Structure 1
Amino acid sequence: MFTCARTRHLPTNRTSNRPLGHANAVRMKIESSLPRPQLPEPPPHTGLQFAVATEEDFDEIMAMSQDIYGGLDYLPTRYQAWLQETNRTVILARKQGKVIALESVCVIDDGETVLVEGLRVAPQERGKGVAGVLLRFCAQLVKSKYPDVKVSRLTRDDQLGPKDFQKYRLITKQGILLVRFRAEDLKLRLAELGPDAGMSPTQMEAPMRLDPEEVHQLFLSSGLMRDVLPNNTIVQDWQPFKPLPSNMAILLKKDIDWMVDDPQRPTVVSLCTFPFHVPIGDDWYYLNIDVFGKDLSLVRQQFLTHLLRHTESLKGHIMCQVFLDPPLWEPLADFCRDTLRVELVKEYTEQCVVESDLV
């Protein structure tokens, strides 16, 4: 996804006992021992200078990317963590000393794939070719630092046209369902519906939350996830991973709820982020749920279970984005609107994972 307000009262992540949005509240000191990559020479005649981002650049980056993604920008809560990831480099483009663009490149898939994230260009510089120059510079940096990288992968939420398919291969796609509600209203509605809401009479077993060892075993078991994961790809909050031990190590460091209908023979699996603040307002949160599988009843059941768990201690507004198999979008949208009585923010859109050879 090409693909920010600070708060006074932060709810606690019960898994790690850290405040949600902690990176906003406390400026962590970046480890000085992390290696600083040697940057290639900047392209001539562009008037741009490139530098590795630091914690001191945070406020300037936020000012440059104000109002991005309709107020759902994830970068404020992840910026500090990004700077500490040894397999990631965040590059800034400056013009006359001012930050005008940002791009993050993260090496995954046992060093064979670079994941391109966070691209943003200052409003006054858009349409001038800045993004293309920055992307080419980052590709050159990756090739010099990680010679084994073969492909560049990114995730988009817009419609792909003929020109896109000349540049990219489509890996997989999911439908995006974006809904909005007040936590207090949803809790009342869920209480009215009762514990069996969304389940068919033959599927009354509650979904199972997985611990790290179970996650590792399930996703790395040959064949178990073949019919569940789209094109054998784990897409977690816009990040696509192959089910490899090195990628599971990355994912298991994150605050994610992993859920499955049956750990022995899974039909539906879902990954849910813990809520984090978004810059729409002080009492606005974002919740991201990635669901894999084609059984509507089981998808709906896990969706409700995540909602119950993650809205229990919240007060205020929640934007919840659900990614699911495209044919399930309409029936789940109807369920959200007619049964849960929550607001659909937009109609059907798609999340597309694409890649190209890094040459």
Structure 2
Amino acid sequence: MKIENSLPRPQLPETPPQTGLQFTVATEEDFEEIMAMSQDIYGGLDYLPTRYTAWLSESNRTVILARKQGKVIALESVCVIDDGDTMLVEGLRVAPQERGKGVAGVLLRFCSQLVKSKWPEVKVTRLTRDDQLGPKDFQKYRLITKQGILLVRFNAEDLKLRLSELGLHVTLPPSSEGTPQGSDTPLVPPVLLDLNEAHQMFLNSGLMSDVLPNATIVQDWQPFKPLPSNMAILLKKDIDWMVDDRDVPAVASLCTHPFRVPGGPYRVGDDTYYLNIDVFGKDIGLVLQQFLSHLRRHTATLKGYVMCQMFLYPPMWKPMVEFCRQTLKVELVKEYTEQCVVESDVM
């Protein structure tokens, strides 16, 4: 097995020679080759260029590359969370010509071996998927929670004008939860939490028991249990934390600060940004208020096009789509898909 690293790296377990693969720990020098291998990932809306350097510096994370004949053909990132109990798997990508050949499975097994050798107390593997889960998946995984994915695209300048025209009243979309259709409601500003408030509130299981789905904080595809060690990770990130009420919250949301992406087939001009909003709760009026508040905060400083991805309680997806189309006049990029958090026991 060939390992090429200029800095001290974890000892990697041996790989079965019949796989024809070599595994290395990713370095800064691998960036361009990884990006070349990932050109069609997520339709060109790849988050990894903005995260890669930070990932390499995280002490509880290892990024592993699979090579074939010396060339990078796959990547997987593993991060240990939940006080050392959980291996969070993310960032999987396989070169187009190698897909369907079992590379992902071999890489995942290798990463599990590596994590168990370094963190033997790890008990669970957790990951987040956006594809349709089938019977075979549920033989391997337990479903922890799921959210609907609403992906829209807009010009920041156009949306700023539209938000200004809306003023302080909006017409609520219909809701499967019984919100009156077509009701006009004043926009009561949500509460933007400071870091200390966010830390205290999200660790208070009594306050958040009816808000967080299955006691899980999902931030930008990363699922965490509400534990002090996980909050220490989350509070280092550029996130806006919102609730509707400090004392009795019914809806909470986390908005990742916008970051640039290549744009892929959706690019019009040079500036394309990505905005991720995770919303927890079932009151569509409060969800809408926080959605609009995040849009107002972040489009104010943006120019160009924005891909906004919102994760929300699945029955709210359709009414929110109608609001986005009819009231905000933004473009729906794709039809309904789900974000599923699943986990399995580490063998």
Pairs within 5 Å for 1:37-186: 37-186=10-159
Q: Does 1:237 align with 2:220?
A: yes
Q: Does 1:289 align with 2:272?
A: no
Please, which runs of 5 or more residues in structure 1 have no aligned partner? 1-29
Q: Are the counterparts in 2 of residues 237 and 290 from structure 1 also a CA contact under 8 Å? A: yes
Partners of 2:87 and 2:110 in 1: how far apart?
Answer: 14
Q: Which of 187-196 and 58-67 deviates more?
A: 187-196
What is the CA-CA distance between 1:31 and the residue it aligns to?
A: 11
Shift of the 202–342 alpha-carbon distance from structure 1 to 2, 3 Å rule, reads closer
Match of 1:277 among 260, 283, 286: 260
Pairs within 5 Å for 1:205-216: 205-216=188-199
One-letter code aligned to 1:159: Q
Shift of the 323–86 alpha-carbon distance from structure 1 to 2, 3 Å rule, reads same
What is the CA-CA distance between 1:203 and the residue it aligns to?
A: 5.9
One-letter code aligned to 1:313: T
Match of 2:325 among 321, 329, 337: 337
Partners of 2:323 and 2:240 in 1: how far apart?
Answer: 23
Deviation string, structure 1 residues 46-87 (Cα, Å, up to 9, x no partner)? 111100000000000000011210111110000000000000
Partners of 2:6 and 2:191 in 1: how far apart?
Answer: 38
**Which residue in the other structure is 1:322 paired with?**
310
**Which residue in the other structure is 1:14 paired with?**
none
One-letter code aligned to 1:64: M
Pairs within 5 Å for 1:19-38: 36-38=9-11
> After TM superposition, what 4+ stretches of structure 1 lie above 2 angstroms from structure 2?
195-205
One-letter code aligned to 1:287: L
One-letter code aligned to 1:217: Q
Partners of 2:186 and 2:161 in 1: how far apart?
Answer: 24
**Which residue in the other structure is 1:9 paired with?**
none
**Which residue in the other structure is 2:179 paired with?**
none
SS at structure 2 position matched to 1:94: strand
- How many residues in Structure 1 have an aligned counterpart in Structure 2? 328
**Which residue in the other structure is 1:21 paired with?**
none
SS at structure 2 position matched to 1:223: helix
**Which residue in the other structure is 1:189 paired with?**
162
Deviation string, structure 1 residues 153-191 (Cα, Å, up to 9, x no partner)? 000001100010001000000000000110011111111
SS at structure 2 position matched to 1:214: helix
RMSD across aligned positions (CA): 1.5
Match of 1:223 among 206, 223, 232: 206
What is the CA-CA distance between 1:45 and the residue it aligns to?
A: 0.8
**Which residue in the other structure is 1:355 paired with?**
343
**Which residue in the other structure is 1:17 paired with?**
none
Q: Are the counterparts in 2 of residues 121 and 130 from structure 1 also a CA contact under 8 Å? A: yes
One-letter code aligned to 1:314: L
One-letter code aligned to 1:266: P
Please, which runs of 5 or more residues in structure 2 have no aligned partner? 173-182
One-letter code aligned to 2:292: L
Match of 1:250 among 233, 237, 251: 233
Match of 2:242 among 259, 265, 273: 259
SS at structure 1 position matched to 2:241: strand
Identity of aligned residues (%): 80
Q: Which of 35-44 and 102-111 deviates more?
A: 35-44
One-letter code aligned to 2:230: N
Q: Which of 39-48 and 210-219 deviates more?
A: 39-48
SS at structure 2 position matched to 1:224: helix
Q: Are the counterparts in 2 of residues 114 and 149 from structure 1 also a CA contact under 8 Å? A: yes
Normalised to the residue count of structure 2, the TM-score between the two structures is 0.92
Q: Are the counterparts in 2 of residues 73 and 279 from structure 1 also a CA contact under 8 Å? A: yes
SS at structure 2 position matched to 1:45: helix
One-letter code aligned to 2:128: T
